Amino acid sequence: MSDAHSEPSQKKKWVKRILLILLILLLVITLGIGFFIWRAGHTWDSKTEKFDSITKVDEDQAKIKEKLGEAKPLNVTELKAPTVTNSDTGKNGTNANGSDAAAALAANASEHDKDGDGILDNGYNYGVIKGPGKNILLLGSDTRTGADAALVSGSRADTIMLMHIPADGKGVYIISIMRDTWVDIPGYGTAKVNAALNYGGVSLQVATIENLVGVKIDHVAEIEFEGFKSLVNAIGGVDVQVPFAFTSNVWTFTPGLMHLNGSGALSFVRERYSFADGDYQRVRNQRAFLRGLYNTMKAKGALSNVASFQSSIESLTDYMRVDQGLNAAQIAQIAAPVLTSGDTTMRMTTLPNAGPGWSYDGQSIIFVDQAANAQLAHALQNDTMDQFMATYGQD
């Protein structure tokens, strides 16, 4: 089939990568530890490409200290009480230039973000701590191999998600971070969050997200997505809850539950031109597909056919890079509390934002809602994401 809209090849890739970024952990949670270690663990350990490190090397650390100076930890309770908003669309809607933008910034201002630009003032941050749960950074970015996988100049993370698994294993929480989110990148100043990979590789991307959400990142997984269609087809397609009617290329989507093969799923998650809010709805559709993938896998026993499961693992690992510590045994250990609790519910949300706007140099950006984001940091630090979701909602 032909595309209705011609896009650069890199843009065509990134919207696909989001969909299998969780597949390995979801398979483990659904199938159980023993099966994973027995059948797929060796494949995972031997075939996935490894980052050298997700922590800053000495040279990176010195550069960051020289440019950034001393950070000032902020008690998350010091910010003003948040205004409850839809975290996908933001409380300011679509902001243009001029008075609308000024009003939006004023509405987003808080005690430690007086100009409302979503950047904490005077070098403050939330104070990065190691919370009781596990936090895994999930990235989708440009193709690279070998030593360049750990530190690449000229690449940007097109898809960014944080997976949080509380210590008691009750549920899996997925936080989408819009790639145009305006943040402070340690050592480099303000920029879009996905620029960190370009400036300093995976280690700087990790440091940037840690400062943004206030918790240490335990592991990183990065995905390339060439095997998307075959993997979706390998499980017999996926049942997806379509929110409303729209068309994409030759596909017509109708409201309600639809069974999608690999080609249909790809079309579903790529479309943005049909939506008034563009990328916001595309991100919601991507998460709807992830939920459908998860539910389909659970309903089917997640590839109970051993040969098909092994084949899918082999296809996936050809397009994955992970940190050295994210081996099969560690994945099983991460999944163990979820399996023990019996609560395999996946809950999804977006990093709190105050809507779109413009940077000082004319870039289209997304402003962080710092008051609400402080509550997210508090929830991640204290394993209270259930309370955060109760207040701010979920997809």
- 120 phi, psi to nearest 5 deg: -60, 140
**What mean pLDDT do residues 151-166 have?**
71
* pLDDT of the residue at 387: 94
Confidence of residue 133 (pLDDT cuts 50, 70, 90): very high
Residues 9-70+119-389: name the CATH superfamily: LCP protein (3.40.630.190)
Strands, E, within the chain: which ranges?
A: 49-51, 72-73, 124-125, 134-141, 157-165, 172-176, 182-185, 189-192, 219-223, 238-242, 246-248, 251-253, 256-260, 320-323, 346-350, 353-358, 364-368
SS (H, E, C) 36-83: HHHHHHHHHHHHCEEECCCCCCHHHHHHHHHHHCCCEECCHHHCCCCC
- Residue 253, sorted as left (phi over 0), alpha (psi -120 to 50) or beta, turns out to be beta
Look up residue 237 and give its amino acid: G
At 192 the three-state DSSP class reads strand
**CB-CB contact of 335 with 29 (8 Å):** yes
Asked if pLDDT for residue 99 goes beyond 70, the answer is no
Q: Could you report the per-residue pLDDT of 369-379, keeping only the tens digit for each?
A: 888 898 999 99
Which residues neighbour 372 within 8 Å (Cβ) at sequence distance 6 or greater?
A: 82, 83, 85, 87, 352, 392
Q: Could you report the per-residue pLDDT of 202-250, keeping only the tens digit for each?
A: 888 999 999 999 999 988 887 665 556 666 777 788 999 999 999 988 8
Tokens of 164: 């949080």
Confidence of residue 68 (pLDDT cuts 50, 70, 90): very low
Asked if pLDDT for residue 20 goes beyond 50, the answer is no
**What mean pLDDT do residues 61-81 have?**
48
Which residues neighbour 112 within 8 Å (Cβ) at sequence distance 6 or greater?
A: 74, 78, 79, 120, 121, 122, 124, 370
Taking the C-alpha atoms of 350, 355, 360 and 362 in order, what is their torsion angle to the nearest 10 degrees? 100
* pLDDT of the residue at 104: 66
Top pLDDT among 307 and 93 is at 307
Q: What residue ranges do the domains of the chain occupy?
A: 9-70+119-389
Which residues neighbour 132 within 8 Å (Cβ) at sequence distance 6 or greater?
A: 166, 167, 382, 383
Confidence of residue 91 (pLDDT cuts 50, 70, 90): very low
Q: Mean pLDDT score of the chain, rounded to an integer?
A: 71
Closest CA to 151 of 162, 141, 163: 141
Residue 59: count other Cβ atoms within 10 Å of its Cβ.
9
* pLDDT of the residue at 362: 83
Alpha-carbon span 256 to 350, nearest angstrom = 23
Top pLDDT among 261 and 139 is at 261
* pLDDT of the residue at 384: 95
**What mean pLDDT do residues 337-362 have?**
80
Rounded to the nearest 10 degrees, the angle between the axes of helix 196-213 and helix 58-68 is 70
Asked if pLDDT for residue 81 goes beyond 80, the answer is no
